[in-house]
Amino acid sequence: MPELPDIVVYIESLERRITGQPLVKARIKHPFLVRSAFPLISEAENKTVLGLRRLGKRIVFELDDQLFLVLHLMIAGRLHWKPLGANPPGKIGLACFDFPGGTLTLTEAGTKRRASLHLVKGEAALAEHQPGGLEVLDADFATFDAVLRRENHTLKRALTSPQLFSGIGNAYSDEILHRARLSPLTWSKKLSEADSARLFHSIKETMEIWISRLRAEAAEHFPEKVTAFRPEMAVHGRFGKPCPDCGTAVQRIVHAENETNYCPRCQTKGKVLADRSLSRLLKDDWPRSVEEWEAIRKPPN
């Protein structure tokens, strides 16, 4: 799933191409993509793009007349910038958005159709799509620590909960925890203040490093290599490969649709965490699917 660094670079690339430009035509190839009934998607056509913003892992297109297109790429959704009038390839093509300078296409690999598009009117309606997680890059440590301890979850669950922290998913949570030298199964309320501070700084450092890397990779081009598995990553997607810091083989634990990668020497004091143990431990602490994540509502203030 595209996470905070990917979404930031997508938005920056789109800003250079479509800000101030009208959405000439929205060509929806698969009706399941549109999850809102009113306003009609056609009402977004010929409206000027005033700006773009991020809501968690969602991309928001701000249009004239207080209209907002809210796009959630979920796991396999990807964006592509093509010459004007282009069509997306085959069965994976979901939609095309035509602008004067080119066409933005939306694709989704695989058989499960999870990507979603909403058109809403007004800031109040847009706020209903805000998961509520803290923007850690903009927060101070005291605020972060309070959110972390608000509920008692494993660190892996806490970091990837969109209701607690904004934009962090499965891939970057592995990298954050490795940098912080913390086990993914440590409970948030049992974390020492020093460990919490190290986790806070690890989030900021990891996200800033990867935003810079992805910016440099895309340069002036549109980002086409959006993936959760990158060779520069320390542990995510590197099961069995050596930890870049200590050389120990990276281990993984799998629960339902989620996979956690970690270094046993750097993070768990040499202990290899078994899948069965993890499944028992996380039985009530870990949603079994992406859909369950999305069904969890923003907690009351």
CA distances from 103 to 49, 85, 98 (A): 14, 6, 4
Average pLDDT rounded to a whole number, residues 168-186:
96
User: Do residue 114 and residue 219 come from a single domain?
Assistant: no
Task: For residues 237 and 254, give the distance between their C-alpha atoms in angstroms, rounded to a whole number.
Answer: 12
Residue 203 has pLDDT above 70, yes or no: yes
Residues contacting residue 82 through CB under 8 Å, at least 6 positions apart: 102, 103, 104, 105
Contact 107, 29 (CB under 8 A): no
The domain that holds 110 is classified in CATH as 3.20.190.10
Task: For residues 234 and 250, give the distance between their C-alpha atoms in angstroms, rounded to a whole number.
Answer: 9
pLDDT by residue (tens digit) across 227-265? Answer: 888 999 999 999 999 999 999 999 988 876 678 999 999
User: Do residue 72 and residue 188 come from a single domain?
Assistant: no
Residue 288 has pLDDT above 50, yes or no: no
Q: Please tell me the least confidently modeled range out of 27-41, 51-65, 90-104, 265-279.
A: 265-279
In a domain, 297, yes or no: no
Half-sphere exposure of 152 (CA within 13 A, CB side): 6
Residues contacting residue 259 through CB under 8 Å, at least 6 positions apart: 170, 252, 253
DSSP lists the bridge partners of residue 28 as 95
**Which of 70, 93, 127 is the endpoint of a domain?**
127
pLDDT for 256: 66
User: Do residue 144 and residue 123 come from a single domain?
Assistant: no
Q: Which residue has the tokens 């977004």?
A: 44
**pLDDT tier, 277 (very low <50, low <70, confident <90, very high otherwise):** very low
User: Do residue 174 and residue 89 come from a single domain?
Assistant: no
In a domain, 68, yes or no: yes
CA distances from 144 to 5, 75, 297 (A): 19, 26, 20
Structure tokens at 225: 């290599």
User: Do residue 226 and residue 280 come from a single domain?
Assistant: yes
In a domain, 295, yes or no: no
CA dihedral sign, ordered 168, 174, 180, 186: positive
User: Do residue 178 and residue 120 come from a single domain?
Assistant: no
pTM over 0.75: yes
pLDDT for 112: 81
User: Do residue 143 and residue 98 come from a single domain?
Assistant: no
User: Do residue 114 and residue 12 come from a single domain?
Assistant: yes
The domain that holds 266 is classified in CATH as 1.10.8.50
Q: Are strands 251-255 and 77-82 parallel, antiparallel or unpaired?
A: unpaired
User: Do residue 231 and residue 172 come from a single domain?
Assistant: yes
DSSP lists the bridge partners of residue 52 as 61
User: Do residue 121 and residue 156 come from a single domain?
Assistant: no
In a domain, 9, yes or no: yes
Residue 43 has pLDDT above 50, yes or no: yes
Domain count for the chain? 2
Structure tokens at 113: 């159709």
**Which of 127, 154, 170 is the endpoint of a domain?**
127
pLDDT for 167: 96
pLDDT for 91: 87
**Which of 127, 156, 191 is the endpoint of a domain?**
127
Task: For residues 252 and 236, give the distance between their C-alpha atoms in angstroms, rounded to a whole number.
Answer: 9
- Domain hosting residue 199, numbered range: 136-288
pLDDT, the chain, mean: 90
pLDDT for 138: 97
In a domain, 167, yes or no: yes
User: Do residue 276 and residue 146 come from a single domain?
Assistant: yes
pLDDT for 299: 45
pLDDT for 290: 41
User: Do residue 48 and residue 91 come from a single domain?
Assistant: yes
Provide the percentage of residues in the chain whose pLDDT is more than 90. 79
In a domain, 301, yes or no: no
In one-letter notation, the amino acid at residue 143 is: T
In a domain, 98, yes or no: yes
Contact 264, 272 (CB under 8 A): yes
Average pLDDT rounded to a whole number, residues 97-112:
93
For 90, which DSSP code?
Answer: G
In a domain, 184, yes or no: yes
Give the distance, in angstroms, between the CA of residue 149 and the centroid of all CA atoms in the same chain.
22
